[in-house]
């Protein structure tokens, strides 16, 4: 039977709704760090050189600036999570500082960011699946593959937080390997001539950096995920700040080095080709001296990486409306827990919205345009909760 759980805190948050089932705190420091890294490192980085090829190597400057911003955000969320280790992260911070109205706006914007972000992740994931299947790029099959990529993680999340956390750790380990190899070994295959021309966009350097940065920012969405899932983290005052910093710094290191390597291994004109949508696979093949075996291994790792990212973000899609529903700001169904102590309605409805976004987008544009459009959409909606989290300090 539903009942009120009075949870007054120093922040003045009002009582929360509960359906009587306890939330399982199954995420320790390794799992919450894996959640951060797994959410940041999805497939966006592996397809980013292809998306940025229209700007050229100048995109590396944009990536550097995006990295500085991401690390600053990580430190901000680290501080805020110590001060207020409440479920919902950016939503809880804005609500505590500014009241229910802005709290609701933050929750709504972040929820859109999460499920639209999943749609973008799965489109990038399809690039790598199509390294093996549907090489002709038939739209119907692309949609079918994308739907599989969205609903497998949803099913994993529905089985419980512990299963989700275990899956997240293993996929994070597997995804880190190809990035680390390209970020280290790949540096020895760089040809300085590939960094020219520096700016191929035809715009000024400032405009090119700005346009590229809007795309780069998507690759760092996720620095706040441990804070959003605070109710699932053991000892949140200790583990959320540590996992946020550790996960973001590790991701930033391999991001920057591997991006430099890929742009240095392949000329921009090649990165812009549809045949090289799976940019890291193409770079791996060059490193291996030709053939396809190295690229195939990278593609397999990226497929695993994408499922891991979708697994983490599927949980986050449900956690934000769960926190808002407990405070009466989202429909009550989002606040109900299943017998496995997960917000099943939030998981299913978010996966459904991601599916609709993917289908509509694919029906109206090519895969590359779909990915870039969804990336820009999530960047815009993410700006709201990030901004109010900063103002809440």
Q: What is the pLDDT of residues 41-60, one digit of tens each?
A: 877 788 789 889 999 999 99
Whole-structure pTM value: 0.78
Give the model's pLDDT for residue 35. 84
Predicted confidence band of residue 13 (pLDDT cuts 50, 70, 90): very low
CA distance 92 to 103: 7
Give the model's pLDDT for residue 3. 37
Predicted confidence band of residue 25 (pLDDT cuts 50, 70, 90): low
Predicted confidence band of residue 186 (pLDDT cuts 50, 70, 90): very high
Q: What is the mean pLDDT of residues 59-69?
A: 94
CA distance 363 to 346: 26
Q: What is the mean pLDDT of residues 198-211?
A: 92
Task: Please name which of 287, 289, 299, 300 lies closest in space to residue 261, comparing C-alpha atoms.
Answer: 287
In this structure, of 21-35, 175-189, 323-337, the range with the lowest mean pLDDT score is 21-35
Q: What is the mean pLDDT of residues 158-178?
A: 87
CA distance 184 to 258: 8
Map the chain to HEC letters.
CCEEECCCCCCCCCCEEECCCCCCCCECHHHHHHHHHHHHCCCHHHHHHHHHCCCCCCHHHHHHHHHHHHHHHHHHHHHHHHHCCCCCCHHHHHHHHHCHHHHHHHHHHHHHHHHHHHHHHHHHHHHHHCCCCCCCCCHHHHHHHHHHHHHHHHHHHHCCHHHHHHHHHHHHHHHHHHHHHHHHHHHHHCCHHHHCCCCCCCCCHHHHHHHHHHHHHHHHCCCCHHHHCHHHECCHHHHHHHHHHHHHHHHHHHHHHHHHHHHHHCCHHHHCCHHHCCHHHHHHHHHCCCCCHHHHHHHHHHHHHHHHHHHHHHHHHHHHHHHHHHCCCCCHHHHCCCCCCCCHHHHHHHHHHHHHHHHHHHHHCCHHHHHHHHHHHHHHHHHHHHHHHHHCC
Q: What is the mean pLDDT of residues 355-363?
A: 86
Q: Which token pair is 118?
A: 């999943």
Largest CA distance in the chain: 68
Q: What is the CA radius of gyration of the chain?
A: 20
In this structure, of 76-90, 135-149, 259-273, 286-300, the range with the lowest mean pLDDT score is 76-90
Tell whether the model's pLDDT for residue 16 goes beyond 60: no
Give the model's pLDDT for residue 12. 39
Q: Which domains are assigned to the chain?
A: 25-391 (1.20.1740.10)
Q: What are phi and psi for residue 52, nearest 5 degrees?
A: -95, -5
Give the model's pLDDT for residue 230. 80
CA distance 376 to 393: 27
Tell whether the model's pLDDT for residue 161 goes beyond 80: yes
| Mutual angle of helices 59-83 and 44-52, in 10-degree steps | 150
Question: By percentage, how much of the chain surpasses pLDDT 70?
Answer: 91
Please give the C-alpha separations between residue 285 and each of 80, 280, 296, 313, in angstroms, as whole numbers: 44, 9, 9, 30
């Amino acid at each position: 039977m539903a009942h009120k759980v009075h949870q007054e805190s120093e922040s003045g948050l009002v009582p929360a709704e509960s359906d009587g089932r306890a939330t399982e705190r199954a995420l320790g420091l390794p799992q919450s760090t894996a959640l951060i890294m797994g959410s940041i490192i999805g497939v966006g980085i592996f397809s980013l050189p292809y998306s940025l090829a229209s700007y050229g190597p100048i995109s590396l400057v944009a990536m550097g600036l995006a990295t500085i911003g991401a690390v600053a955000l990580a430190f901000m969320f680290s501080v805020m999570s110590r001060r207020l280790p409440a479920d919902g992260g950016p939503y809880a911070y804005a609500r505590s500082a500014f009241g229910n109205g802005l709290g609701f706006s933050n929750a709504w914007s972040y929820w859109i960011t999460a499920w639209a972000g999943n749609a973008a992740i799965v489109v990038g994931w399809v690039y790598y699946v199509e390294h093996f299947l549907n090489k002709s790029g038939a739209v119907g099959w692309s949609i079918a593959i994308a739907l599989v990529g969205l609903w497998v993680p949803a099913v994993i999340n529905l089985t419980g937080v512990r299963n989700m956390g275990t899956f997240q750790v293993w996929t994070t380990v597997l995804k880190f390997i190809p990035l680390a190899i390209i970020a280290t070994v790949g540096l020895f295959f760089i040809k300085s001539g590939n960094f020219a021309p520096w700016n191929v966009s035809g715009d000024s350097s400032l405009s090119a950096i700005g346009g590229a940065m809007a795309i780069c920012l998507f690759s760092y969405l996720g620095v706040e995920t441990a804070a959003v899932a605070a109710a699932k983290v053991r000892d949140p005052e200790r583990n959320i700040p540590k996992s946020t910093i550790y996960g973001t710094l590790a991701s930033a290191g391999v991001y920057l080095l591997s991006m430099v390597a890929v742009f240095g291994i392949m000329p921009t004109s090649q990165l812009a080709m549809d045949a090289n949508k799976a940019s890291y696979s193409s770079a791996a093949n060059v490193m291996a001296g030709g053939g396809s075996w190295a690229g195939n291994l990278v593609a397999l790792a990226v497929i695993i990486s994408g499922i891991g990212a979708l697994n983490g973000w599927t949980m986050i899609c449900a956690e934000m409306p769960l926190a808002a529903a407990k405070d009466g700001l989202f429909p009550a169904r989002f606040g109900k827990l299943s017998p496995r102590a997960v917000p099943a309605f939030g998981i299913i409805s978010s996966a459904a919205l991601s599916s609709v976004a993917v289908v509509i987008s694919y029906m109206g544009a090519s895969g590359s345009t779909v990915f870039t459009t969804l990336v820009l959409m999530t960047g815009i909606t993410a700006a709201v909760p990030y901004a109010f989290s900063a103002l809440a300090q």
